Amino acid sequence: MESFERYRPIIDDFEAFLAACERPLGNAVRVNTIKASVERTTTALEEDGVAYDQADWNPRVLRLETNSPGSTWTSFHGFTHGQEEVSAVPPVVLDPQPGDRVWDCCAAPGGKATQLAALMDDRGTVVANDSNLGRISALRFNAERLGATSLAVTNDDARNYSLQRFLFDEFDRALVDAPCSCEGTIRKNPDALDNWSPDHINSVAGIQKGILRRALQATREGGTVVYSTCTFAPEENEAVVQHALETEDCRVVDFDLGLEYAPGLAEWDGETFDSSIEQAARIYPHHNDTGGFFVAKLEVTA
């Protein structure tokens, strides 16, 4: 946890933050409304003897009192999908509509991509891309298991992504759930910090900037791009959004979220960020007893 000391000045109740990071994370699932309603799913869980709590901020997110959420009847039949609670936030912020063309730039293993399809009532197109060929099979498996027929799977580097393969030349919305240093997953992955270093953070930040820029370029004017990571590092969060503001035609916009969170930072380590970035959300583990996440919503302006 020593690497987290750098965040002491920016996190409220830092001791509570550290204590939360040391507690194991509970199990959560997302109701897959492509196959079943929330009511049908909760009834099935009750009949299966699986206790649950419904998240206040999202009725489709359930906290299960079981150590094997993937072994339940509802999971076997595709009614539920194991997904960390805070991981369900970015697709909700993106708010895709039926008929939209949506690009999930870094989609494997498919939790958020299939959530996007469900939010669209499986109508429209969700292009689920990932650069890691080894993870594509998991992406395809989850799309099939959950019945997401609106998904198109591609395997490319999102930084140089071409739309020539499609009959359209721009997306309505894009999700950049970027590869990151994964500090916010410490509760479920105790070894998340084993390879932590400033050099790694700076290296992955360069990749993140390239992906976010391409997502903005590929999205129509007036369209929405959501940028998210599961890390606390400002170099990977606010600094990446700042780079996008400086290099692409876009602006940060506000959004409503029924979870407790801290605003985006105004400055870090001598670097000042655009004041609009304070509309982003920093979700810390001690806020809602979840993992950690950063989410920013951008609108393409030209």
The residues that are catalytic are: 230
Give the C-alpha distances (Å, rounded to integers) separating 282 from 89, 124, 233, 251, 287: 12, 30, 10, 18, 10
**How many CA atoms does the CB half-sphere of 164 hold within 13 Å?**
4
Q: Which residues contact 99 (CB under 8 A, 6 or more apart)?
A: 120, 123, 124
157 assigned binding-site residue: yes
Cα 294 to Cα 1: distance, rounded to the nearest angstrom:
19
Any known ligand binding at 88? Answer: no
- Concatenated DSSP letters for 208-225? HHHHHHHHHHTEEEEEEE
The annotation status of 206 as a binding-site residue, yes or no, is no
179 marked as binding residue: no
Q: Is 111 annotated as a binding residue?
A: yes
Q: Is 107 annotated as a binding residue?
A: yes
Q: Which long-range contacts (CB under 8 A, 24 or more apart) does 245-249 make?
A: 245/274, 245/276, 245/277, 247/213, 248/213, 248/216, 248/217, 248/300, 249/216, 249/300, 249/301, 249/302
Q: Is 274 annotated as a binding residue?
A: no
250 is in an annotated binding site: no
Task: Judge whether 130 is annotated as a binding position.
Answer: yes
CA distance 174 to 94: 8
Q: Is 177 annotated as a binding residue?
A: yes
Cα–Cα distance for residue pair 288/286, rounded to 1 Å: 6
Residues 6+ apart with CB under 8 A from 89: 228, 257, 259, 281, 283, 293, 295
Give the up-direction half-sphere exposure of residue 151: CA atoms within 13 A in the CB hemisphere: 33
Residues placed in the known binding site = 106-112, 130, 157, 177
Residues placed in the known binding site for S-adenosyl-L-methionine = 106-112, 130, 157, 177
